[in-house]
Structure 1
Amino acid sequence: MINRLVIFGATGDLNARYLLPALTALRAAGHLDDRFTLTCAGRVDWTGEHFRSWAADQLDRHGLDSPAEARAAVADRAHYRRIDATDAADVASVVAGDGPVAFYLALPPEIFPATVAALGAANLPRGSRIVLEKPFGVDLDSAVELNRLLAGIVLEQAVFRVDHFLAMTTVQNVLGSRLANRVLEPIWNSAHIREVEIVWDESLALEGRAGYYDGTGALKDMVQNHLLQVLCLVAMEPPLSLGERDLRDRKIDVLRSVRPLTDDDVVRRTRRARYLAGRDVPAYTEEEGVDPERGTETFAEVELELDSWRWSGTTFRLRTGKALGHDRKEVAVRFRSVPHLPAGFDEEAAPNVLRFGLEPESMTLALTGVGTGAHTLAPLTLAARPTGSELPAYGRLLLDVLHGDAALSIRGDEAEESWRVLEPVMSAWSRDVVPLAGYPAGSDGPDTVRSG
């Protein structure tokens, strides 16, 4: 296990809201002891004392699930260094020491290449690992170039392209539910499943993230990584094991099976929009830090089809939006109607729907049962709440990084294939082949949105 972690971009929102609380959870669960050292590096001119005070404040806001003793242990033992992560000499100054280091790039993706180059010039200790947040690059060409830079520094097994969705309990339950239950796997195919919706609808608006979001948009922020990763777990063939090679081989098979989209397909199968003023929220173009000329979308929907024996004929709909009327974060598996309903029932049977709630975590199965009268049908819902993990999603990912388990990390070829899937959409949208619609903040979204 690696006992040295360096976080670049340590004064940012990612470290405050997720990484520091995750480290606190690891400490509370006994996974980190006093041999573990944490170096937090940023460009802000802070003293070590100021950073530790700031870290303690952030943990009091975002880490209350862990005991005060664990929060204090992480904040008090954090070392702060003011550096430029793209400067080779600055980076080399935090590399010095004994033993391998895990470097977490909690940075804007546009400076990943320069930071990776600086790490390459810093003579990393043998066994070191590099962790990169999504999105991995900004398009296919940049992802290919970033993979080339990384390959010149460390082995692929030492690169962790993390996506915290893969460590969420309910996302893991998608695999467990279909692969460990005989009742589901035989019907997990297009003969029985008509459509799969993977949805991350948020009532939250921009929330001060214009610096990142306006240059990214909903398609790159959510669909290209998070939602495509969930698609892989839903649609993959059963792996021989949950080890890194078997699991990731089956995931990339899914991405390679996605039918390429033409411009006509993009018009028929995608939607893009951004929110207008409403619900005490200003229009997206009036948010501080937004450039209206960029045409950044806050809502994206893409319908995909897979050219494979198992899934030919099933539609996969990936959707995300901000400033919507309500949160809806789930995987909805919609089964086909029964082939025949005996005469005498008073109405048609509604198709079954299996829902995996992503946030909050839940599982429900909508069935049809007998109603109160003879030959009547009525909806019947079976519901369960999965047992939560002792660790938050980022805690699980950080533990995997420190132990060198890359199963939940995205492999280099997988990252490139994800961009290939959406390149036709990005190209068509950049040419305004699909108009940028609008929807009032607090509404159900653009008129063309499908819901439920």
Structure 2
Amino acid sequence: MTSNPLELLAPQDLVLIGATGDLGVGRLLPAVYNLFLDSRLPPQGSVIGFAREPYSREEFQHLAAEAVRQNSRRAFDATVWARFCERLDYVPADAGGLEEVRRRCTQPQRLVYLAIPPPAFEGVAEGLAEAGLTEGTRLIVEKPFGFDTRSARALNQVLRRYFDERQIFRIDHYLGKETVQNILVFRFANAIFERIWHREAIDEMQITVAESAGIGQRGRFYEQMGALRDIAQNHLIQVLTLLTMEPPAFYDPDAIHDEKIKVLHATEPVRPENVVRGQYTSGVVEGEVVPGYLEEPGVHPESETETYIALKASINNWRWSGVPFYLRSGKRLPRRVTEVHVQFRRAPVAFFKGMDFHNVNPNHLTIRIQPEEGITISFLAKEPGPTLQLRPARMHYPYPESFMTAPPEAYERLLHDAMAGDRTLFIREDIMERAWEVIQPVLDHPPPVHLYQAGTWGPPAADELISPYFWHLH
């Protein structure tokens, strides 16, 4: 999270391994194009795609152009694209492999992005070493970082065999979203909030990552993952650490990571009885009839993989002891929305004796991460009129409208930070392993799967989990 995004980067090459896959086409190539548009790529260096497809350079450039037309947040500009193509190269995996990539690199430094499945990491890492592509290299590793605590540690050992920890950038694109980054600024740059950001003022917190989409064509992949591994272990827990960590001594990647690991060590491993797993059946989402999970391609007809997860987390430290944290994520929910909900404790009510006070919600704060990024504060005010009646009011801060500029996509931010060597928004080895340890009891003893109809907010058991509170989105 560089303080000066326009600061010139050191000359370096960018190598996208797996460039023709869904991530490369849908996210990475459009992100690199937008960085080029904003003059935020290094002043010198090639962008090299590497994949199995036997494309020529021109064929890959055509594929990349279509990817940008379909997926870029900015319009395709043919003149800009022609200049970008002067730097855009491609190496098929069977045409000399990574040795050929090394020959095509024009700079002593490079950023290598592994947009490939974890089982391929070891072979590619070894190939990079054999090709002489480890020194001067920063390596971005895409999730999933393993499938449990043991495999995550094994993956780290493989990567550390060839790369130093400071060369490894484990990416979670949620940390690149503007509103997620704003959590630290919101907390630590505003005394009015940090002074009430503790157990004496906060009653409970919720983090929701809701998706209206199903699993699409990822059935075989999703069968290995489920919502617990796919979302809870990374996105939800990473946002939780930002909400609950202590203030770092200074703004520095290691100082921030040190506070994140401290709060994770204070987080109890989640007990299976504090977890609800769900799986969607057929239903109607956003006006469209959709199939159930078991009817999706690539899914075993008797699968018990969860597409919904809700859990209660506890943090045993001075700041948060006794405050419940409710985390949930699901597919085929009514709409796509990610938000944090903070409910504050009720004010003393003796002053309002005899009024209809208890039926009014307590103060709360909502941090909307997507869509329509922003922050809303709900409070009580007097309703206009001759009597003293309390009614809820709110203050809303819409992020893009407040600054009259569209924020960059998460992958743009994270690619730029990695090229600058800034590890703030990436995940350190110990943080990643501890996140797995927090959910490992649920992986070892998974609770039963509850069915929920597509287009609803999940199984009723999730409402029982959060009782006596209520889900803010329901």
1:449 aligns with 2:456: no
Is 2:100 the partner of 1:93?
yes
Deviation at 1:333, TM superposition (A): 0.8
1:267-416 matches, cutoff 5 A: 267=273, 269-279=274-284, 280-342=289-351, 343-348=353-358, 349-360=360-371, 361-373=373-385, 374-386=387-399, 387=403, 390-416=407-433
Pairing partner for 2:451 from 423, 428, 438: 438
Question: Please, which of 223, 236, 242 is the counterpart of residue 251 of structure 2?
Answer: 242
Residue 51 of structure 1 aligns with an amino acid whose one-letter code is: F
Q: CA deviation at 1:15?
A: 1.2
CA drift of 1:77 comes to: 3.5
CA contact (8 A) 1:99 1:125 kept: no
Percent identity of paired positions between Structure 1 and Structure 2: 36
Whole-angstrom CA distance in 1 between matches of 2:320 and 2:382: 32
Q: Deviations over 1:327-347 (max 9, x none)?
A: 331011111111334124333
User: Partners in 2 of 1:266 and 1:33 — Cα distance?
Assistant: 48
What is residue 23 of structure 2 aligned with on the other side? Answer: 14
Question: Does structure 2 retain, via aligned residues, the 8 Å contact 1:367–1:380?
Answer: yes
Following superposition, the deviation at residue 140 of structure 1 comes to: 1.1
Q: Structure 1 2/419 Cα, relative in aligned 2: closer, same or farther at 3 Å?
A: farther
1: distance between equivalents of 2:390 and 2:407?
41
Q: 1:291 to 1:44 in 2, by over 3 A?
A: farther
- Residues of 1 paired with 2:37 and 2:333: CA distance? 36
Distance in 2 between residues matched to 1:435 and 1:231, nearest whole Å: 25
Match of 1:82 among 80, 92, 116: 92
- What SS does the corresponding residue of 2:192 show, helix, strand or coil? coil
Gaps of 5+ in 2: 1-9, 464-470
3-state SS of the aligned residue for 1:174?
Answer: helix
Within 5 Å, give how 1:173-184 maps onto structure 2. 173-184=182-193
Paired letter, 2:439: L
Report the counterpart of residue 466 of structure 2 in structure 1. none
CA distance in 2, matches of 1:29, 1:257: 42
Is 1:41 equivalent to 2:37 in the alignment? no
The change in CA–CA distance for 1:183 and 1:83 in structure 2 (over 3 A counts) is: same
Alignment root-mean-square deviation, CA: 1.9
CA distance in 1, matches of 2:151, 2:427: 16
| 8 Å Cα contact 2:91/2:97 also seen in 1 | no
CA 1:390–1:203 in structure 2 vs 1: closer, same or farther (change >3 Å)? closer
Q: Give the Å deviation of 1:390.
A: 4.5
Q: What CA distance in whole angstroms lies between the structure 2 residues aligned with 1:73 and 1:295? A: 50
Deviation at 1:389? 5.8
Q: Which amino acid aligns with 2:196?
A: I
Distance 1:385 1:75, change over 3 A: farther
Q: Which letter does structure 1 place at the counterpart of 2:89? A: H
Residues 1:83 and 1:341: Cα distance change in structure 2 (over 3 Å): farther
Query: Counterpart amino acid of 1:308?
Result: N
Q: Aligned residue for 1:127?
A: 136
1:2 CA drift (Å): 4.7
Report the alpha carbon displacement of residue 71 of structure 1 after superposing the two structures with TM. 4.4
Kindly provide the amino acid, as one letter, of the partner of residue 286 in structure 1: E
TM-score (normalised: structure 1): 0.93
Contact 2:69–2:76 (Cα < 8 Å) also in 1: no
| 1:149-168 alignment runs, 5 A limit | 149-168=158-177
What are structure 1's unaligned runs of at least 5 residues? none
Establish whether residue 266 from structure 1 lines up as the match of residue 275 from structure 2.
no
After superposing the two structures, state which structure 1 stretch, 308-317 or 276-285, moved more.
276-285
Please, which of 145, 156, 174 is the counterpart of residue 154 of structure 2? 145
Shift of 1:110: 2.5
- More deviation, 8-17/60-69: 60-69
Q: 1:155 to 1:339 in 2, by over 3 A?
A: same
- Measure how far apart 1:75 and its partner are: 5.1
Q: Which amino acid aligns with 1:414?
A: I
> Which residue number in structure 1 is paired with residue 214 of structure 2?
205
Counterpart residue number, 2:71: 62
Amino acid at match of 1:278: G
Three-state SS of the structure 1 residue aligned to 2:162 is coil
Cα distance change, pair 281–2 in 1 and its aligned pair in 2 (3 A)? farther
How far 1:67 moved relative to its partner? 5.2
Q: Which amino acid aligns with 1:347?
A: F
